[in-house]
Amino acid sequence: MVRTMMAAHSTSLPAKPPSAKTNQHIDDALHHVERTWPAFIGKTIPGEYKPELGSEQRPLHRLTGEDRIDKNRLRAKKVCVDVWGDGAATPNLNCDEFPFASTYEGAYWSTTEADGDSNGWMQWDGSARMIGEEDNQDAGRDYLNTRFYKANRILDNDKFFVAITS
């Protein structure tokens, strides 16, 4: 079974919604790859259902275990440091990543870095960017974890797609 996560604008969610910056980042990753980092020719970011792909869909796969998720976060942070510098992350800014750190498509597990290549993150089919800490944390904790993973019982390696709706 494959599920679709709808990252909605505030009008669709009754409680604290994901931020506009989070939604914009996901939309850029899925539809405007030229606005994403790391930047390289031929990058294709997974996670969106596209009917024209038929059986060749590229869903995201849920990753569990904080130690494994943290490896993805640390590698995405390398992208943010590479683009914005060491001092970019502050108490008010976080390095946001898509595909999410909680997926096998994250910056560590989907690259050659998982096989020992310390520069594998440079060829990650994903995006990392600095966004507001509160927005990033709320989107990940309140929406992705609580309202999607837990509410739909998304377990390790379960497939899902992401869509931005208005």
For the segment 7-64, what is each residue's pLDDT rounded down to a tens digit? Answer: 332 223 323 455 688 889 999 999 999 999 999 999 999 999 999 999 999 999 999 9
The rounded distance, in Å, linking the Cα atoms of 102 and 79 is 17
Burial letters for 137-166: b for 16+ Cβ neighbours within 10 Å, e otherwise? ebbbeebbeebbbeeeebeeebbbbbebee
The stretches of the chain forming alpha helices (DSSP H) are 20-31, 66-84, 133-138
For the chain, the domains span: 2-165
DSSP state of 41: T
How many C-beta atoms surround the C-beta of residue 53 within 10 A?
10
Please determine, for residue 134, whether its predicted confidence score (pLDDT) is greater than 70: yes
